[in-house]
Amino acid sequence: MLRFLTAGESHGPCLTAVIEGLPAGLPVEIDAINAFLYRRRQGIGRGKRMQIEADTVEILSGVRFGYTLGSPVTLSIHNRDWENWQERMAVTGKFDCEAVTAPRPGHADLAGVLKYGSKDIRDILERASARETAARTAVGALLVQLLSHCGIQIVSAVTEIGGVTVTTPEPEDDLNIQTVVEAAQRRGDTLGGVFVVTAIGAPPGLGSHVHWDRRLDGRLAGAIMSIPAIKGVEFGAGFRYSGMPGSMAHDEIFYSSAKGYYRTSNHAGGLEGGITNGADLEVRAVMKPIPTLMSPLASVDIVSHEAISANTERSDVCAVQAAAVVGEAVMAIVLAEAMLEKFGGDHMCDLLAAKAHYYQRIEPERV
Ligand code: EPS
């Protein structure tokens, strides 16, 4: 069973992730993990923090001479900004700084202080910050390497920002996107958007119809929804299914000895009955605008209960491109879990042999 935990506050000393259940013998390329983390820091509308951080990963356990050992892998990302926050984020000593008391609508601030009984919203916002996704991205980047040995690739694209369709491969090259993001920044506003994550090469048969919590679409939707600010997820034709009759909605099945089973459409987004069907897995998500507005919204002070403007902190105007990279990472995590569930193995050789054996069974003519 593959499992992982992340820990760390946004302005604490570091972010940490522990991954348990990886097979031994996986070659680990640290540069590729760092390149993935670099992509997460990029994109139009990102804030100043992304220029401060280097986001390079240190491996503290579970890897020896470049290969996993099968023991827990610990990944650590140092927060450079910690230098500027040591007093406000000290682990020991007495609280001696100004509390944040003006919750931002749309952030975890108010719900979090009510739940955890805190007098300082910083106790909540530090962990609610999307900074946590750096740790999850590092985990996903490592699992992308496992998947790539299994012939699975994951890609993403941002299709919409602030209601405007992206017409270039990178949103920052699109003049309409530049205009809408710059205008939002001038207004002290923020923007959301839509991204799509696609996995190519996943074998048919990941996930299962036999029980609700084994359905891979449910698990993938949960993983994507757990990215901060994601408010909607769809697979394939998604909400467009509402306007399609059954005769147009479903992907008809064909067979040839060269291709095996194949389809000429993929409205299902690669999943039928909660099981991958061998087509590309396609999940689309909408991100709401970031709740930290430089022209703040109305709020209420959590101590005095008087009307007040919401807290303003350095943040991003738009982080949809970063969210798409995190989307790739969480897709990798769910697919790696599903691959290890189906094919198991304590060593990469066992995993790959089990996968090859399975293909011999399902596609004897093609193997
Ligand atoms: C983020 C780090 C944060 C923000 C952003 C994402 O850094 P800081 O709070 O120091 O400016 O840029 O956080 C949020 C959007 C949020 O809601 O907290 C990151 O590493 O992705």
Q: Whose CA is nearest to atom 2 of ligand 1?
A: 131
Q: Whose CA is nearest to atom 12 of ligand 1?
A: 315
Look at residue 55 in the predicted model and tell me its pLDDT. Answer: 95
What whole-number distance in Å separates Cα of residue 87 and Cα of residue 96? 8
Side-chain half-sphere CA neighbours of 343 within 13 A = 29
Give burial (CB, 10 Å; 0-12/13-18/19+) of 323.
buried
Q: Whose CA is nearest to atom 3 of ligand 1?
A: 131
Cβ contacts of residue 251 below 8 Å, gap of 6+?
A: 263, 264, 265, 266, 267, 268, 279
Provide residues with CB under 6 Å of ligand 1: 10, 47, 49, 81, 129-131, 133-134, 290, 292, 313-316, 319, 322
Q: Which residue out of 6, 10, 14, 39 has the highest number of ligand 1 atoms within 8 Å of its CB and is therefore the one to mutate?
A: 10
For the chain, give the longest Cα–Cα distance. Answer: 73
User: What does the pLDDT profile of the chain (367 residues) look like in tens digits?
Assistant: 999 999 999 999 999 999 999 999 999 999 999 999 999 999 999 999 999 999 999 999 999 999 999 999 999 999 999 999 999 999 999 999 999 999 999 999 999 999 999 999 999 999 999 999 999 999 999 999 999 999 999 999 999 999 999 999 999 999 999 999 999 999 999 999 999 999 999 999 999 999 999 999 999 999 999 999 999 999 999 999 999 999 999 999 999 988 889 999 999 999 999 999 999 999 999 999 999 999 999 999 999 999 999 989 888 999 999 999 999 999 999 999 999 999 999 999 999 999 999 999 998 887 5
Cβ contacts of residue 266 below 8 Å, gap of 6+?
A: 236, 251, 279, 280, 282
Look at residue 294 in the predicted model and tell me its pLDDT. Answer: 93
Look at residue 364 in the predicted model and tell me its pLDDT. Answer: 83
Q: Which residue out of 79, 136, 316, 325 has the highest number of ligand 1 atoms within 8 Å of its CB and is therefore the one to mutate?
A: 316
Other Cβ atoms closer than 10 A to 145: 18
User: Per the structure block, which two tokens stand in for 177?
Assistant: 């996107």
Look at residue 258 in the predicted model and tell me its pLDDT. Answer: 87
Look at residue 367 in the predicted model and tell me its pLDDT. Answer: 59
Question: Do you know the residue count of the chain?
Answer: 367
What whole-number distance in Å separates Cα of residue 273 and Cα of residue 244? 19
The backbone region for 92, taken as left when phi is positive above 0, alpha when psi lies in -120 to 50, beta otherwise, is: beta
Torsions phi, psi for 191 (to 5 deg): -135, 145
Cβ contacts of residue 64 below 8 Å, gap of 6+?
A: none
Side-chain half-sphere CA neighbours of 338 within 13 A = 27
Instruction: Give the position, in ligand 1's atom list, of the atom nearest the Cα of 133.
Output: 21
Domains plus CATH for the chain?
Answer: 3-362 (3.60.150.10)
What whole-number distance in Å separates Cα of residue 367 and Cα of residue 360? 6
Cα–ligand 1 centroid distance for 154 (angstroms):
25
Q: Whose CA is nearest to atom 21 of ligand 1?
A: 131
